[in-house]
């Protein structure tokens, strides 16, 4: 570089030399998802197997915006908390009171869902309460952008989210939804019951018979869909969910830690587990331990508890739903008892 040029001019010239090397990266960042090789392959699969229009999909992916916040959220899920911190998020007087309000407002739909699917009103209400605070917090992330980000920029679960992205596009076509408009959770879950796209396609129902399966704006559809989901995953009407238990000695540590019921009452007894009430001898059960501040508490759980984990594969989640459902029912039957219900089984 000419040393006789003024210093400011020399600095500007040096910067201009560097600009060409930055241009490819800048163009790549501005190009959107559509120009990435793995996205082109994904698009081609949809064109080949599901008869999508390639130009239409490329326009969608060009408009998609990466969502770094969803990746950050995936790395700190609430289910990673210990039980004594997780429970107070959901077992609050307000959530119990609002659950009673929801039950009263939609009693006819909840009772009809129980007749159709065998799932009691308090359980359906509790799931909607845990998921979206009765439809008030359904998420603010663009679903298409979220699933594209997780499908192509989150390697730990990329395969799963690419499948959900494909399901979302199929759902949008099937239901006549603009893929760029729906909002949902940081994982791409949608509506009052927070259904992932595959679940929406396969388990959502038009429970009010108006010709639409609308889980965002129609609580009756949400109620029927949650009940149908649980029933299709094996919910047993009137079946056992969970009961507190005491443990004696260390024999229980040799039992399976799976929430899938596979333990007999004899196996539990031999391991020093004492349920709070007698269990049917023919049933199968699991033992769930929940972390307290200084110790742990234990529950014997059954088939219906396991079914709740099919909604969210977490024993913490299932226990929060179960305890909230019990608290809502108690407050529904005894209106002055929301505070007492919130404190029941508290760590």
Q: Which residue has the tokens 């998609």?
A: 64
Name which of 227, 235, 268 is nearest 251 in CA terms: 268
DSSP states of 235-274? --TT---EEEEEE-SSGGGGS---SS--B-HHHHHHTTEE
Q: Which of 79, 111, 131, 329 is catalytic?
A: 131
CA distances, 226 to each of 2, 43, 101, 130, 308 (Å): 73, 31, 18, 12, 11
Angle between helices 219-232 and 121-132 (to 10 degrees): 110
Q: How far apart are CA 272 and CA 250, in angstroms?
A: 8
Residue 131: active-site member: yes
Q: How far apart are CA 102 and CA 129, in angstroms?
A: 9
Q: Which two tokens stand for residue 108?
A: 């006819």
State the distance between the two ends of the chain, measured CA to CA, in whole angstroms. 72
Q: Which two tokens stand for residue 198?
A: 């595959």
Quote the Cα angle for 42-44-48, to 5°: 120
Q: How far apart are CA 193 and CA 127, in angstroms?
A: 7
Q: Which residues are catalytic?
A: 131
């Amino acid at each position: 570089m000419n040393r006789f040029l003024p210093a400011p001019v020399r600095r500007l010239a040096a910067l201009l030399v560097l600009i060409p090397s930055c241009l490819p990266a800048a163009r790549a960042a501005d190009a959107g998802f559509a120009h990435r090789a793995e996205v082109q392959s994904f698009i081609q699969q949809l064109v080949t197997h599901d008869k999508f229009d390639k130009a239409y999909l490329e326009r969608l992916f060009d408009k998609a915006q990466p969502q770094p916040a969803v990746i950050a959220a995936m790395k700190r899920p609430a289910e990673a908390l210990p039980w004594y911190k997780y429970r107070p998020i959901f077992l609050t007087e307000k959530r119990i009171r609002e659950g009673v309000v929801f039950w009263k407002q939609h009693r006819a739909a909840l009772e009809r869902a129980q007749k159709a699917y065998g799932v009691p009103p308090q359980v359906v209400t509790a799931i909607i309460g845990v998921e979206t605070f009765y439809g008030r917090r359904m998420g603010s992330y663009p679903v298409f952008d979220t699933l594209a980000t997780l499908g192509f920029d989150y390697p730990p679960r990329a395969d799963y989210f690419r499948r959900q992205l494909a399901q979302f596009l199929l759902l949008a076509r099937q239901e006549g939804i603009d893929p760029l408009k729906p909002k949902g959770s940081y994982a791409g879950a949608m509506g009052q019951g927070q259904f992932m796209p595959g679940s929406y396609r396969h388990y959502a129902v038009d429970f009010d018979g108006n010709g639409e399966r609308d889980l965002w704006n129609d609580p009756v559809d949400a109620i029927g869909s949650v009940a149908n989901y649980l029933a299709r995953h094996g919910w047993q009407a009137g079946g056992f969910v969970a009961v507190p238990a005491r443990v004696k000695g260390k024999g229980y540590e040799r039992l399976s830690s799976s929430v899938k019921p596979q333990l007999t009452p004899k196996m539990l007894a031999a391991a020093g587990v004492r349920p709070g009430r007698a269990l049917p001898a023919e049933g199968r059960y699991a033992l769930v331990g929940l972390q307290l501040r200084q110790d742990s508490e234990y529950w014997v759980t059954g088939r219906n508890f396991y079914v709740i984990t099919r909604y969210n594969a977490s024993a913490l989640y299932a226990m929060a739903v179960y305890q909230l459902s019990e608290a809502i029912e108690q407050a529904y039957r005894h209106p002055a008892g929301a505070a007492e219900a919130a404190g029941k089984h508290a760590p």
